[in-house]
A and B are shown apart, each in its own frame.
Chain A
Amino acid sequence: MNESIEFKSKYTVDDNGYYGQFGGAYIPEMLHHNIEELQQKYLKIIYSEKFQTEFKQLLKDYVGRPTPLYFAKRLSEKYGTQIYLKREDLCHTGAHKINNTVGQILLAKALGKTRIIAETGAGQHGVATATVCALMNLPCVVYMGEVDIERQAPNVKRMKLLGAEVRPAKSGSRTLKDATNEAMRDWIANPEDTHYIIGSVVGPHPFPDMVARFQSVISEEIKIQLKDKTGKENPDYVVACVGGGSNAAGAFYHFLNNPLVKLVGVEAAGLGIDSGHSAATTVLGKLGVLHSSKTLFMQTKDGQVVEPHSISAGLDYPGIGPMHAHLFDTQRAIFYSATDDEALAAVKELSMLEGIIPALETAHALAALHKIGAKKEEVVVLNLSGRGDKDLDTYIKAMQL
């Protein structure tokens, strides 16, 4: 039996699909058949020998794993601690998102599905989905908010080049949550032939758990690489940005059971937590049901979803996944937030100090480095979830380059 399937923690999903009081599958009856099928089959499929062989092969030869764990010398000097960057930005397509899409497309094939849909915010998950659909020769429709289509134009073109159809979500705030609504509506209308590749650890059970498992390769590699470099496999801190929370889930996963490893999630504060233009869910959110999951999200007192704001399209989501809500609730993870301006400053800093241009999402994690209080001899692993190519237009405007 694979080590990962046996990995149990009070912070991972329970037999009913919950993380403490969070999670579940609050789905309309129209999705019952699909979700039930997934719930019954996903573990069996993804831990079959055939799946694991193909999954690992693709992660190695196609995605380019393992990604390096890089000791960032100048950044470490600046913050007076030992900082290692987990280079998910070097994955094929430029972010961690592809770990999940490779897994889910293999799952979709095993389920006999012939059409793929996805939602995307920054476009990274859309590109990663379009990529694996091209690889497996499956038709692909990506829903993307109209606002995001505009601010992430290069990724829209990439998806088109890869053969995907990009459909604009025109309702609500026309960002990630609305793209998610549209994808769910598509799935309701096409339940038999279609698999919905959700891009984050959100949505009804088993999606949060499934996506976390596919992303857990990040922390699996960190352990091995860190031991190789420092002689011990556990860092003192793991830091990652959190929108829905998939890269953080992957980076935290194999450290969940070790309380000595401090887990740090960084949310987008937008223009500031109290500005009315923020996406800092753990501060501003309340318990409710969003996208078929019981979790924390930003809402009015009447239970209407509040439209979030972040300069980063990938963090512009009003909620967090149920696993993170539980980590926050139990204080297993600590959450900070970074504003748009702090994130931009962090982009500049990493570019100048290390020659690495990070994605805007990732920059939020970097912007929290001075807040965590790591000591000189302590080891901090920061998950460098994506590269900044897609954000160049934003950087050009904001920094007057």
Chain B
Amino acid sequence: MNRINLLFDKKNKNIFSVFCTAGYPQLDKTVSILENLEKSGVDMIEIGMPFSDPTADGPVIQKSNTIAIENGMTIETLFNQIKGIRKTISIPLILMGYINPAMQYGFERFLEMAANCGIDGLIIPDLPLHEYEFFYKEMFEKYKLKCIFLITPQTSEERIRKIDDLSNAFIYVVSTQSITGGSGGFENEQALYFKRLKEMNLKNPCIVGFGIKDKATFEMACSHLNGAIIGSAFINTIENSTDLDTDILNFTKKIIQN
């Protein structure tokens, strides 16, 4: 059984997920960051594959992408770094990135390598639902990889139902109509949106991302839905870290400890 499904079988609330950019802040830190995140209580990790033109991302993740590319991170390098990852890490791992680098690597080869490394799912923000259904779905199924889709406050109920139908892992709930790293807190508007989703009784768990930056926003998201993802706030934390073990532990403590 896929590790994402196993996770939600045994825990369906307060899922704590973290996004990190592969090859950031240093090229060779990817694996130790993943190991530290698991050790400090994170339930699931999105590993960002850097792209030169990340149009859905704010300045923090853009910058981490630029630095990771300058550091020499590529899909090939990432697979080399994580090919033995399942010897040390057991939580679900998801690759997240824009479609072009995967296309250039060869999309099927990309999926095959991801599966061989023990990756559980993919989030490709610029792979449209329509293209997925007609061209990519079978490929994902062949390699037993989950494709995770985004929904936003503007996504219609009909489309949410369709995404729920096509999904078999979780739904990535974009909290606000914005790029990543939003600075504002959550307001009544988000509460209503999360509540609306909850009342739809979807078959997939809903994990909130974009704008989750601290304990308050994490808990607010978890009070309505199944969990949340922190990205930019984590990237900021490790930017100048000289002691990743301690800094990562302190960061996660602040989010999940009482």
A residues adjacent to B (C-beta < 8 A): 24-30, 32-33, 171-172, 177-178, 181, 184-185, 188-192, 286-292, 299, 301-305
List 16 interface pairs A-B (beta carbons < 8 Å), by A numbering: A29-B149, A29-B151, A30-B174, A33-B152, A171-B66, A188-B179, A189-B179, A286-B104, A288-B100, A288-B104, A289-B103, A292-B55, A302-B104, A303-B100, A303-B105, A304-B69
Q: Which 4 A-B pairs have the closest CB atoms?
A: A303-B104, A303-B101, A29-B150, A304-B52
B218 sits at the interface (CB 8 A):
no
Q: Closest B-chain residue to A288, C-beta based?
A: B100
Q: Verify B52–A191 contact, CB threshold 8 A.
A: no
Q: How far is the CA of A286 from the CA of B103 in the complex (A)?
A: 11
A residues near B234, Cβ cutoff 8 Å: none
Q: How far is the CA of A172 from the CA of B126 in the complex (A)?
A: 20
Q: A29 with B100: in contact, given A172-B52, A185-B58 (CB under 8 Å)?
A: no
B141 sits at the interface (CB 8 A):
no
Q: Closest A-chain residue to B101, C-beta based?
A: A303
Q: Verify B104–A171 contact, CB threshold 8 A.
A: no
Q: How far is the CA of A286 from the CA of B105 in the complex (A)?
A: 13
A residues near B99, Cβ cutoff 8 Å: 26, 289
Q: How far is the CA of A206 from the CA of B159 in the complex (A)?
A: 20
B89 sits at the interface (CB 8 A):
no
Of B56, B59, B105, B156, most A-chain CB atoms within 10 Å: B56
Q: How far is the CA of A171 from the CA of B126 in the complex (A)?
A: 20
Q: Closest B-chain residue to A297, C-beta based?
A: B100
Q: Verify B155–A305 contact, CB threshold 8 A.
A: no
B residues near A30, Cβ cutoff 8 Å: 56, 150, 152, 154, 174, 177-179
Q: Verify B126–A33 contact, CB threshold 8 A.
A: no
Q: Closest B-chain residue to A286, C-beta based?
A: B104
Q: Closest A-chain residue to B182, C-beta based?
A: A189
Q: Verify B104–A185 contact, CB threshold 8 A.
A: no
Q: Flag B199-210 by CB within 8 Å of A: 1 or 0 each.
A: 000000000000
B residues near A287, Cβ cutoff 8 Å: 103
Q: Closest A-chain residue to B77, C-beta based?
A: A302
Q: Closest A-chain residue to B103, C-beta based?
A: A288
Q: Verify A188–B56 contact, CB threshold 8 A.
A: yes
Min CB distance B204 to A, Å, is 15
A residues near B103, Cβ cutoff 8 Å: 287-289, 303
Q: Verify B127–A26 contact, CB threshold 8 A.
A: yes
Q: A29-B150, A192-B154, A303-B101 are in contact. List 17 more A-B contacts (CB 8 A).
A: A25-B128, A26-B99, A26-B128, A26-B131, A28-B125, A30-B177, A32-B155, A33-B155, A181-B54, A185-B55, A185-B56, A185-B58, A289-B100, A291-B53, A291-B55, A299-B104, A304-B101
Q: How far is the CA of A287 from the CA of B104 in the complex (A)?
A: 8
A residues near B52, Cβ cutoff 8 Å: 172, 304-305
Q: Verify A28–B104 contact, CB threshold 8 A.
A: no
Q: Verify A302–B74 contact, CB threshold 8 A.
A: yes
Taking a contact as CB atoms closer than 8 A, the residue among B66, B75, B126 that contacts A292 in the complex is B126
B76 sits at the interface (CB 8 A):
yes
B170 sits at the interface (CB 8 A):
no
B102 sits at the interface (CB 8 A):
yes
B residues near A27, Cβ cutoff 8 Å: 126, 128
Q: Verify A24–B131 contact, CB threshold 8 A.
A: yes
B residues near A25, Cβ cutoff 8 Å: 128
Q: Verify B102–A29 contact, CB threshold 8 A.
A: no
A residues near B98, Cβ cutoff 8 Å: 289
Q: How far is the CA of A192 from the CA of B154 in the complex (A)?
A: 9
Min CB distance B3 to A, Å, is 24
B residues near A304, Cβ cutoff 8 Å: 51-52, 69, 101
B62 sits at the interface (CB 8 A):
yes
Q: Verify B100–A191 contact, CB threshold 8 A.
A: no
A residues near B179, Cβ cutoff 8 Å: 30, 185, 188-189
Q: Verify A302–B101 contact, CB threshold 8 A.
A: yes
Q: Verify A302–B126 contact, CB threshold 8 A.
A: no
Q: Verify A290–B102 contact, CB threshold 8 A.
A: no
Q: A289 with B126: in contact, given A172-B52, A299-B104 (CB under 8 Å)?
A: yes
Q: Verify B174–A29 contact, CB threshold 8 A.
A: yes
B residues near A177, Cβ cutoff 8 Å: 53
Q: Verify A28–B150 contact, CB threshold 8 A.
A: yes
Of A29, A32, A171, A172, most B-chain CB atoms within 10 Å: A29
Q: Flag B162-197 by CB within 8 Å of A: 1 or 0 each.
A: 000000000000100111000000000000000000
Q: Closest A-chain residue to B174, C-beta based?
A: A30
Q: How far is the CA of A305 from the CA of B58 in the complex (A)?
A: 18
Q: A188 with B151: in contact, given A289-B99, A301-B104, A305-B52 (CB under 8 Å)?
A: no
Min CB distance B82 to A, Å, is 17
Q: How far is the CA of A172 from the CA of B51 in the complex (A)?
A: 11
Min CB distance A111 to B, Å, is 15
Q: Verify A189–B104 contact, CB threshold 8 A.
A: no
Q: Flag B32-71 by CB within 8 Å of A: 1 or 0 each.
A: 0000000000000000000111111011001000100100
Q: Flag B95-117 by CB within 8 Å of A: 1 or 0 each.
A: 00011111111000000000000
A residues near B59, Cβ cutoff 8 Å: 171
Q: How far is the CA of A26 from the CA of B127 in the complex (A)?
A: 6
Q: How far is the CA of A213 from the CA of B103 in the complex (A)?
A: 30
Min CB distance A325 to B, Å, is 15
A residues near B75, Cβ cutoff 8 Å: 302-303
Q: How far is the CA of A27 from the CA of B105 in the complex (A)?
A: 20
Q: Verify A33–B154 contact, CB threshold 8 A.
A: yes
Of A33, A181, A191, A289, most B-chain CB atoms within 10 Å: A289
Q: Closest A-chain residue to B50, C-beta based?
A: A304
Q: How far is the CA of A184 from the CA of B151 in the complex (A)?
A: 18
Q: How far is the CA of A289 from the CA of B127 in the complex (A)?
A: 10
Q: Verify B53–A28 contact, CB threshold 8 A.
A: no
Min CB distance A250 to B, Å, is 26
Min CB distance B13 to A, Å, is 24
Q: Verify A299–B100 contact, CB threshold 8 A.
A: yes
Min CB distance B138 to A, Å, is 19
